[in-house]
Structure 1
Amino acid sequence: MTRVDFHTNVGDALLYACRLARKAYQAGQPLVVVADHARLRAFDERLWTFSPLDFLPHCMAESELAARTPIVLATDVEQAPHHQVLLNLAPVVPAQFARFERLLEVVGNSDDELAAGRERYRFYRDRGYPLNNYKQGA
């Protein structure tokens, strides 16, 4: 069963997601990041700029290099070449998330993000998924 980790109360969700991506990459865990096109473009840019000392190899799921790239950005989980770790940057539960060993949910501290995060949390809880909570700034 997919393990679900909620990272809540993060000030800058994209920056925090970059740190999670770096951690997965350094641990040798292939990562798929799911969101809409605009959010993925912003995340792609942040991956290039968040740390001057880190290079995190990544590409879009449509790329012919996706199967060999440790971090893949996708608008649809169906495109994912890896099924170890899924990082959700979308406000909804990703389709087919149960294919993954682990799901990372990043929840910012705006009212909209908190409300969407609570809905996703209830969805997973009500279906019996093991949940872990990591509250930032507490």
Structure 2
Amino acid sequence: MPPRVQFYHNAENPLALACEFAARAYGSGRKVALRTQDATAARQLDQMLWNFEQQAFVPHVMAGSPLAAETPVVIGHAEAPNEWPHAEILFNLADDVPPGHERFRMLIEIIGQSEEQKLPARARWMHYKQKDLPLQAFDAIRREAL
């Protein structure tokens, strides 16, 4: 079954939105892969998850960790090939189409407000559309369908 693809456009802070969505997914018992553009953003996302909510803990590790298969939230980045231990939800914050996205049940693209982020997102949208994947678009600020 092909993945459902959701685009969240206009995110003020894509990493913070990814933290929120990952925490919510984890809270509902789902397993998550978070894919950033580079190692720096992956480390920043890692730190943000540690501090995201005062009373909440989102168990997470970096891709490649020996604990990745046992951990519900795994962080990787586009600069290194990732073998994702889960195939439930992939959050993509990178500029390219994630390799292996077909094996996930859901792919969520989080796009910021700059033209630098919007242009590659449009190309990804067209890629998924050409593959006949079910697409939905949302405004990240208003949290409503576009």
- Scaled by the length of structure 2, what TM-score is found? 0.89
Q: Secondary structure at the match of 1:132?
A: strand
- Give the drift of 1:34: 1.4
**Which structure 1 residue ranges, 5 or more long, are not aligned?**
none
TM-score of the aligned structures, taking structure 1 as reference length: 0.94
Aligned CA distance change for structure 1 residues 28 and 77 (closer, same or farther; 3 Å): farther
- Cross-structure match for 1:64: 66
Instruction: State the shift of 1:78 in Å.
Output: 4.1
Provide, for residues 98-136 of structure 1, a one-character-per-residue CA deviation record: whole Å limited to 9, x for no partner: 010110100011110111211111111121100011113
Number of residue equivalences: 138
Ranges of 4+ aligned residues in structure 1 off by more than 6 Å: none
Residue 104 in 1 paired to residue 96 in 2?
Answer: no
Structure-1 separation of matches of 2:56 and 2:7? 25
Structure 2 counterpart of 1:19, one-letter code = E
In the alignment, which of 123, 126, 129 is matched to residue 127 of structure 2?
123
Letter in 1 for 2:92: N
1:137–1:78: structure 2 CA closer, same or farther, 3 Å change rule? Answer: closer
Mapping of residues 1-138 of structure 1, within 5 Å: 1-35=2-36, 36-75=38-77, 78-138=82-142
Paired AA for residue 22 in structure 2:
A
Decide which structure has greater helix share. 1
Q: Is contact 1:34-1:77 (8 Å) kept?
A: no
Identity %: 35
Contact 1:77–1:94, Cα closer than 8 Å, also in 2? no
What is the RMSD computed on CA atoms of the aligned residues? 1.3
Tell me how far apart the structure 1 counterparts of residues 23 and 52 of structure 2 sit (CA, whole Å).
Answer: 10
